[in-house]
């Protein structure tokens, strides 16, 4: 796993030239990238959500596209449209902004549900269908969506089906004092993103994505993952729990976290570190829990604290 670890370290160190003091969040973004998953960044304005997406694309030399979601957008503004060519007397497909390797869906919850649904096929099946014709999306393909958790006026909450398609949800948060001072110093003359260099190729990323799949997960760790997901469905404060896709997201992200740390086997600690980013956004609290201001994060945290961690010797074979 040294290949994946070296790749991830180069990528994370490069991104940190722009995103200061948020290594854990950057690492989660790289984990989602290695798992071919999508990332939901939920935080207040001005903390670097857009810069994180741009930094990932520039570090890998990937094509980048930004979609600024607004209430008057149409699905064709995302997927593209077929236009009739008067000369050739045929319809020609004009691809939309979703046809890129790294797609920033900025303020995705400001679009109507109809427009939001245009992303569903692309996120899950890596393809999109326009006028009955299926177009394959480039590889790698990653959607980084942002939304503001504070200002809800004029927004449309993401449906459960779309939330479930995001592998991880992260929060950047405000920087500490010393990091914010560092941000001011770095941007005195120009933005550090302008000087950000490519540190890896798309081929390196694809190779790392394939290598992550070979990380071993023992039977007991698999059972631990499934039990965590099942407990979210059975919890008294839950209206809707995590789906089997959530279990798979926790499984895949655990493999990536282990590979980043140079291991070819997953530990229960990998699962515990990722359970809230992977499952919390898939859990919908019930009416009584909302009345008591109990969040999905608190529900998942209580499950982790009560569920026994599998014991055993998790050696290089991946068996307990």
The burial class, CB within 10 Å (0-12 / 13-18 / 19+), for 49 is: buried
* Number of compact structural domains in the chain: 2
Residue-wise pLDDT tens digits, 25-54: 999 999 999 999 999 998 888 888 889 999
C-alpha 39/C-alpha 56 separation (Å) is 12
Mean pLDDT of 283-297: 91
- Residue after which a domain boundary falls, among 178, 195, 213: 213
C-alpha 195/C-alpha 186 separation (Å) is 11
Mean pLDDT of 146-174: 84
Mean pLDDT of 293-310: 92
Q: Are 274 and 283 in contact (CB under 8 A)?
A: no
pLDDT confidence bin for 2, thresholds 50/70/90: confident
Indicate whether 259 and 190 sit together in one domain: no
Indicate whether 227 and 179 sit together in one domain: no
C-alpha 39/C-alpha 41 separation (Å) is 6
Please report the pLDDT score of residue 231 as a whole number. Answer: 94
Residues 6+ apart with CB under 8 A from 246: 164, 229, 232, 278, 279, 282
Residues 6+ apart with CB under 8 A from 132: none
Which residue is it, tokens 């699905």? Answer: 75
Sign, CA dihedral 257-259-262-263, equals positive
pLDDT confidence bin for 153, thresholds 50/70/90: low
Task: For strands 102-106 and 90-95, give the pairing.
Answer: unpaired
Mean pLDDT of 307-315: 75
Indicate whether 233 and 167 sit together in one domain: no
C-alpha 302/C-alpha 184 separation (Å) is 39
C-alpha 147/C-alpha 41 separation (Å) is 7
Predicted structure pTM score: 0.90
Domain of residue 300, residue span: 214-320
Residues 6+ apart with CB under 8 A from 269: none
Taking 60 as the threshold, does the pLDDT of residue 317 lie above it? no
Q: For residue 315, give both structure tokens.
A: 């050696």
Residue-wise pLDDT tens digits, 48-107: 888 999 999 999 999 999 999 989 999 999 998 888 888 888 888 889 999 999 999 999
Mean pLDDT of 113-127: 89
Percent pLDDT > 70 in the chain is 96
| β-bridge mates for residue 106, sequence order | 68
Indicate whether 51 and 176 sit together in one domain: yes
Indicate whether 7 and 130 sit together in one domain: yes
- Residue after which a domain boundary falls, among 213, 248, 270: 213
Residue-wise pLDDT tens digits, 164-185: 999 999 988 899 999 999 999 9
- Show the 3-state SS of 203-224: HHHHHHHHHHCCCECCHHHHHH
Indicate whether 103 and 11 sit together in one domain: yes
Taking 90 as the threshold, does the pLDDT of residue 151 lie above it? no
C-alpha 91/C-alpha 75 separation (Å) is 18
Residue-wise pLDDT tens digits, 197-233: 999 999 999 999 999 999 999 999 999 999 999 999 9
Separation in Å, CA 234 to CA 167, 185, 230, 264, 301: 22, 50, 6, 32, 14
Q: Are 297 and 280 in contact (CB under 8 A)?
A: yes
Residue-wise pLDDT tens digits, 262-273: 999 999 999 999
DSSP state of 307: S
**CB atoms closer than 10 angstroms to residue 82:** 15
SS3 66: strand
Indicate whether 39 and 175 sit together in one domain: yes
The CATH number of residue 238's host domain is 1.10.8.80
Indicate whether 142 and 51 sit together in one domain: yes
Please report the pLDDT score of residue 318 as a whole number. Answer: 43
- Residue after which a domain boundary falls, among 213, 236, 268: 213
Indicate whether 65 and 101 sit together in one domain: yes
User: pLDDT averaged over the chain?
Assistant: 90
Please report the pLDDT score of residue 319 as a whole number. Answer: 47
Mean pLDDT of 122-132: 88
């Amino acid at each position: 796993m040294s290949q994946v670890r070296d790749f991830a370290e180069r990528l994370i160190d490069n991104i940190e030239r722009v995103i200061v003091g948020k290594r854990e969040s950057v690492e989660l973004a790289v984990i989602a990238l290695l798992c071919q998953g999508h990332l939901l960044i939920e935080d207040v304005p001005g903390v670097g959500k857009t810069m994180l997406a741009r930094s990932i694309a520039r570090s890998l030399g990937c094509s980048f596209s930004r979609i600024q979601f607004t209430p008057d957008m149409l699905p064709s503004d995302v997927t593209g449209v077929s236009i009739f060519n008067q000369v050739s007397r045929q319809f020609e497909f004009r691809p939309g902004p979703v046809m890129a390797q790294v797609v920033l869906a900025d303020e995705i919850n400001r679009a109507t549900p109809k427009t939001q649904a245009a992303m569903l096929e692309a996120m899950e099946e890596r393809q999109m269908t326009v006028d009955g014709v299926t177009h394959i999306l480039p590889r790698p393909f990653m959607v980084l969506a942002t939304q503001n958790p504070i200002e809800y006026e004029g927004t449309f909450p993401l449906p459960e089906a779309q939330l479930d398609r995001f592998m991880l949800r992260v929060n950047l948060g405000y920087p500490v004092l010393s990091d914010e001072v560092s941000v001011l110093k770095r941007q005195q003359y120009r933005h550090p993103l302008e000087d950000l260099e490519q540190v890896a190729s798309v081929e390196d990323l694809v190779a790392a994505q394939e290598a992550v799949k070979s990380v071993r997960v023992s039977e007991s760790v698999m059972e631990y993952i499934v039990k965590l997901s099942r407990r979210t469905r059975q919890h008294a404060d839950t209206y809707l729990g995590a789906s089997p896709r959530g279990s798979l997201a926790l499984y895949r992200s655990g493999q990536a976290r282990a590979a980043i740390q140079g291991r070819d086997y997953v530990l229960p600690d990998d699962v515990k570190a990722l359970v809230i980013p992977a499952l919390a956004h898939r859990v919908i609290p019930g009416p009584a829990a909302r009345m008591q201001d109990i969040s999905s994060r608190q529900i998942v945290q209580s499950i982790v604290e009560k569920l026994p961690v599998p014991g055993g010797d998790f050696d290089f074979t991946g068996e307990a």
